[in-house]
Amino acid sequence: MAPPPIVSVFKFLQLNPSEGADRRNQKGGRRPPSTKVDVVADNGRRWIRINTIKNAGILAELREIDSYLTDSESDLDSDDPDYRPSLAQTEFDNSILQMGRVLIEAAKANPIEGVDGPEIPRVTLRLTRLDISPFRANGEPNDPRIAHTVQCLRDMDIDVELGERLESDIPIPTPLLNTPAPLPIKLQPTRQINLDLSVLVALVSDLTHSPLPSSVEEATARFLPPQRYREWKPQDRLAVDAPESIGGVSQDIVKHSRALTTHILQEMGKGLLQEIHDKLADLSGPVEFWTSEEARERCMRIVSRIGGEREVRRAEALFPIDPITTAEAETLFWQDSRYPRNFIPLLPVRLYPAPPLPPVEGTPKPHARLPRPMATEAAEITTPEMEMEMNLASRGDGDVHPTKINSRLSPHAVKSMLRGAELGWTTLTTTKSSVKALLREVKAARLAGRLVEDVEEDPRSAHDKAAAIWIVDPRNLQCFV
């Protein structure tokens, strides 16, 4: 049985991962050489490959090898002008041994992080239909080279398992026998909501507040690229390379136009503010929205540069330069919105101190289970050095090793999630890619043994939990529209 936990089933591992990354970056590049692993088990430490070749298959290969040997003995002398090189093997080999060598090569090229440094996965080759006993079932002797093949695999440090296991031989894991069916988990946001930069932008966007189109067609037409681009647009995209700008219309504007169309269609499905309103409806007690000084400054800078008039006004209502009352800020923020005033109790948005200052007074205990390891890993990758690497990786600059830092991690998103995890608050974000990338980093750290697992919780008390991260769809600023 494959040792748990199982990481993946039917996975292809590259023989040279760095070369594979280079080829992927080249358009039309050939696929890099790889080998199949049927089961990646034991948190990536064990690779299992299953092969169903029979004795007859190995014997057919051996007979072919014997024929080459016979031919080579009758070859002409090498001084003869008609001499051809022999196909006979100079050392014992067959397809099973070749498979074993490739698996060992791939394992060495794909080490996993261990407590004491890189760890090469162990390779198990299960030969389900191969018989290495001295005699076959009919009493005839087996070819000794079949057993020699298995011994050669073991000499390569491959764990060889023979035959198939009966279903009755497979033990049922103890937890499955004794653990009751888990209760459904109901996640709820905390009363303090941690807003990251992406959500601040979405909250002031005109897409979030403007009247909705009456149809999909109207939504599509609302953000069509300028006419001069549509007249130029080639019919065969593969045959014609688009220049950087067409009649003064940059490709960035075209991409932004498509993004706006996607976001307004999402808003038509369920509005961002409506989603927040519905999620907060079941909470008892007043809700508070918090953010960081850095997110506030970046939001104001972005909106002042590319935001529309109404978007700038909403941002200034969230973070007024001159002191104003909460009522005045609410009037400014909800003006021209399709939602009634105070549809969600957003104002005032409070600012928490940046780490490593003391935590905000009166905050709940940090989340258990997910956010503790998430906070640990986020803290490791938000050092100044790693932040610089993340910036380089996200821009595609510099010689950043692809496995050392994930290019989908944005520094400000990671820092927001870190602060939310430390405070025990729900972090509201639109950066789904950063969340997924951070969770992959947490998983890698756990596999490497860098994270201490939390004490097991009582499953009966785990049905009602505070959400660590709350992901919503993004809403861009309308900019040029």
Segment 248-269, tens digit of pLDDT = 445 666 677 788 888 888 899 8
Q: Which one is predicted more confidently, 408 or 128?
A: 128
**pLDDT at res. 64:** 85
Task: Please provide residue 269's backbone torsions phi and psi, each rounded to the nearest 5 degrees.
Answer: -70, -55
Q: Which residues of 152-161 are buried (b: 16+ CB within 10 A; e: fewer)?
A: bbeeeebebe
Q: How confident is the model at residue 379 (pLDDT cuts 50, 70, 90)?
A: low
What is the DSSP code string of 116-143?
TEEEPPEEEEEETT---SSB-TTSPBPP
How far CA 52 is from CA of 49, 55, 98, 285, in Å, comes to 10, 10, 15, 63
219 or 407: which leads in pLDDT: 219
Let me know if 194 is exposed, middle or buried by CB neighbors in 10 A (0-12, 13-18, 19+). buried
d(CA 137, CA 90): 32
CA distance 37 to 41: 10
Residue 129 pLDDT: 92
Residue 138 phi/psi, 5-degree rounding, is -85, 5
3-state helix, strand, coil in the chain (%, to 5): 45, 15, 45
Planar angle of CA 319, 324, 330, nearest 5 degrees: 70
pLDDT at 22: 56
pLDDT for 97: 94
Phi, psi of 279 (to 5 degrees): -70, -35
**Residues in Cβ contact with 301 at an 8 Å cutoff, skipping those fewer than 6 apart:** none
Strand 34-41 and strand 46-51: the pairing is antiparallel
* Whether pLDDT at 401 is above 50: no
User: pLDDT value at position 195?
Assistant: 96
Neighbours of 39 (CB within 10 A): 20
**What band does 229 get if pLDDT is binned at 50, 70 and 90?**
very low
Q: What is the pLDDT of residue 329?
A: 96
Radius of gyration of the chain (CA): 31
pLDDT beyond 60 at 212:
yes
pLDDT for 429 beyond 60? yes
| Residue recorded with tokens 């939990």 | 465
Q: Which of 39, 31, 27 is nearest to 15 (CA)?
A: 31
Tokens of 53: 């070749």
Output the pLDDT for position 198.
94
Residue 360 clears pLDDT 80, i.e. is over it? no
Domain map (residue ranges) of the chain: 8-75+89-174, 187-450+461-471
| DSSP state letter for 42 | G
**Residues 239 and 447 sit within 8 Å (Cβ to Cβ):** no
pLDDT over 90 (residue 298): yes
Contact 466, 185 (CB under 8 A): no
- Under the banding of pLDDT at 50, 70 and 90, the label for residue 335 is very high
Among 270-284, 318-332, 404-418, whose mean pLDDT is lowest? 404-418
Tokens 């610089």 locate to: 388
Percent of the chain with pLDDT over 90: 35
Say which range, 273-282, 296-305, 383-392, 420-429, has the weakest mean pLDDT. Answer: 383-392
Mean pLDDT of the chain: 77
Asked if residues 106 and 13 have their Cβ atoms less than 8 Å apart, the reply is yes
Which has more pLDDT, 452 or 399?
A: 452
**Residue 33 carries which side chain, given as an amino acid letter?**
P
CA-based angle 185:189:192, to the nearest 5? 150
- Is the pLDDT score of 462 beyond 50? no
- In terms of Cα–Cα distance, which of 300, 259, 217 is closest to 481? 259
Residue 349: other Cβ atoms inside 10 A: 21
pLDDT digits (tens, 9 = 90+) for 13-69: 888 876 655 555 555 566 778 899 999 998 888 999 999 999 999 989 988 877 776
CB 158 within 8 A of CB 103: yes
Q: Quick one: pLDDT at residue 394?
A: 47
pLDDT, tens digit, 9 for 90 and up, residues 152-161: 999 999 999 9
pLDDT higher than 60, residue 141: yes
Distances (CA, A) of 245 to 88, 251, 476: 62, 6, 22
